[in-house]
Amino acid sequence: MDRKRIGISGLAAYVPPFRVWLEDWCDWTGNQWPKVREVVGRSFRLRGPNQSVYTMAATAVMRLITQYDIDPTRVKFLGLGTESSTDNSAGAIIVKGMVDRALVAQGKPPIARSCEVPEFKHACLGGVYGMKSALRHLALDGAGGQAIVVCADIAEYARGSSGEPTQGAGAVAMLLEENPKLAEVDLIGSGSASDYRIMDFRKPMLRFCGQDRSESHHVQDFPVFNGKYSTTCYIDETLHALTDMYEKRGLDATEYLRSLKTIFMHRPYRRMPETGLAVAYLFALGIGNAEDRAELASFCYEAGIEPDALLAEMASKPEIALLADPERLNYEAYPLTMAVFRNFRASRRYRREILDKLALGSDTMLDLGNLYTAALPAWIAAGYEQAADEDRLTVGEEILTLGYGSGDAAEVIPFIVAEDWREATAAIRFADAMEFSVDLNEKQYQALHDGKRVPDLDYIPKDEFIIEKIGRTDQRQFQDIGIEYYRYVS
């Protein structure tokens, strides 16, 4: 019996218009623009005064339904992947309710009443977990139907923190079904990894205590994070997920990585996926043949490191959680590898094996910032559009995707380019979602970031959801305190 072909047939995005240029931000904050440009990107977006993770998610779903002419009654699974939800009870059902009302107002049927509405939370990996769950649904009791998974997040950091330039906000919705139009998703050939990392990147509820929301309904969702330690966690979990995939598929790691033309990875900022893939390539050389090890040795000698010492480090199994100690001055689990990596980054091979494979859509991503769960599907959407413009993908070609969530887990999932990918890509309209913007000055940025009234913010919503009001009633016979009421502005 042939295995069902199930995967992604459509993508649609919503990006808030409020933009901060990082060069301007560097002028305001005294940071070095050349370094920020090289490591982080060009600009990022902020959510607006009347926006939340739910309004962005619902707008992305509405666009998906419209752009792909989806029959809502066929949608039997609507998943929400996010780490920015502000309701500890409801989740995807909020998005479904908003979309249903907007569809009915347009004379269309609502999403099926029998639709499942789960929410998935695991830092930036929630959307990938949602996608996997949707695919399993379509393979079993949801066979013959359609599924939508929307990834939506608001990445915000305290002003003055190291994470501030990596902020972002937005949502990407995915249409999943049998006989997919964009890409078949190969779950059987995927790799997984997870481990508890204590303080990698957390959002304990205690952070909310004492917040003054008198001027805004926004709750500031600043994470507790440790940048250098988080980088180590990302790299280590990437290595373990790849190893799981290599072993399941019986792959030669170096040969496989070299065979790929396109790779999409979770992208909190510009440099992180480059570093993760480069270290994975160096580890692949370490378990490769004599020629591979000779290549690795050449990078070692340039860095002044003995190859045998590096191989011993690569073969070790460091307890990353033991690095979660405030007394430590160095959070590196693989210090020799990182030293060799810095030399590798200056080589021609780095361009061919790393940067070229991450090239599709990467320029567009410089203007998005970190979208948490939506970062990976946003990059895929941007990459497919560039590929269509430049004829860079081939039917049947394997694309490698890697999702990652702090805390700590990773998923490596192969995509197979579908026959109708060009037609399906034409409906993504990711560039259109990015086109309109309102550039913020320093005072506007500070006010919007801090949840204050924003002076002279000239923007009229259109074809999107907004928060119309916030419930204030807290009485015995009726309560709606904190409940958001939404409206679709057409």
Can you give the pLDDT of all 490 residues of the chain as single tens digits?
A: 467 899 999 999 999 999 999 999 999 999 999 999 999 999 999 999 999 999 999 999 999 999 999 999 999 999 999 999 999 999 999 999 999 999 999 999 999 999 999 999 999 999 999 999 999 999 999 999 999 999 999 999 999 999 999 999 999 999 999 999 999 999 999 999 999 988 888 888 877 777 776 677 788 888 888 888 889 999 999 999 999 999 999 999 999 999 999 999 999 999 999 999 999 999 999 999 999 999 999 999 999 999 999 999 999 999 988 888 877 767 789 999 999 999 999 999 999 999 999 999 999 999 999 999 999 999 999 999 999 999 999 999 999 999 999 988 999 999 999 999 999 999 999 999 999 999 999 999 999 999 888 888 888 999 999 999 999 999 999 999 989 999 999 9
Identify the burial level of 316 via C-beta atoms within 10 angstroms of its C-beta, where 0-12 means exposed, 13-18 middle and 19 or more buried.
Answer: exposed
What is the pLDDT, as a whole number, of residue 214?
65
CB 426 within 8 Å of CB 7: no
Amino acid at 19: R
What is the pLDDT, as a whole number, of residue 165?
97
Q: What is the pTM of this model?
A: 0.96
Tokens 């269309």 map to which residue?
Answer: 108
CB 352 within 8 Å of CB 345: no
Instruction: Measure the CA–CA gap between 488 and 59, rounded to whole angstroms.
Output: 9
Bridge-partner residues for 80, per DSSP?
Answer: 119, 150
CB atoms within 10 A of CB 230: 22
Instruction: Measure the CA–CA gap between 421 and 429, rounded to whole angstroms.
Output: 14
Identify the burial level of 115 via C-beta atoms within 10 angstroms of its C-beta, where 0-12 means exposed, 13-18 middle and 19 or more buried.
Answer: buried
Domains (ranges, CATH) in the chain? 6-182+420-489 (3.40.47.10), 224-400 (no CATH)
Which among 80, 72, 76, 60 is positioned nearest to 103, based on CA atoms? 72
What are the structure tokens assigned to 433, written together? Answer: 């979602």
Tokens 């270290």 map to which residue?
Answer: 279
What is the pLDDT, as a whole number, of residue 310?
97
Instruction: Give the β-pairing of 398-405 and 409-417.
Output: antiparallel
Query: What SS3 class is residue 229?
Result: helix
Identify the burial level of 5 via C-beta atoms within 10 angstroms of its C-beta, where 0-12 means exposed, 13-18 middle and 19 or more buried.
Answer: middle
- Each as own residue / partner, the long-range contacts of residues 342-346 (CB below 8 Å, 24 or more positions apart, any chain) are 342/303, 343/299, 343/302, 343/303, 344/278, 344/281, 344/282, 344/299, 345/274, 345/278
Amino acid at 233: C
**What spatial distance separates the first Cα and last Cα of the chain, rounded to whole Å?**
48
What is the pLDDT, as a whole number, of residue 1?
47
Q: Which residues contact 60 (CB under 8 A, 6 or more apart)?
A: 12, 13, 14, 150, 152, 171, 172, 173
Instruction: Measure the CA–CA gap between 402 and 386, rounded to whole angstroms.
Output: 19
Query: What SS3 class is residue 446?
Result: helix
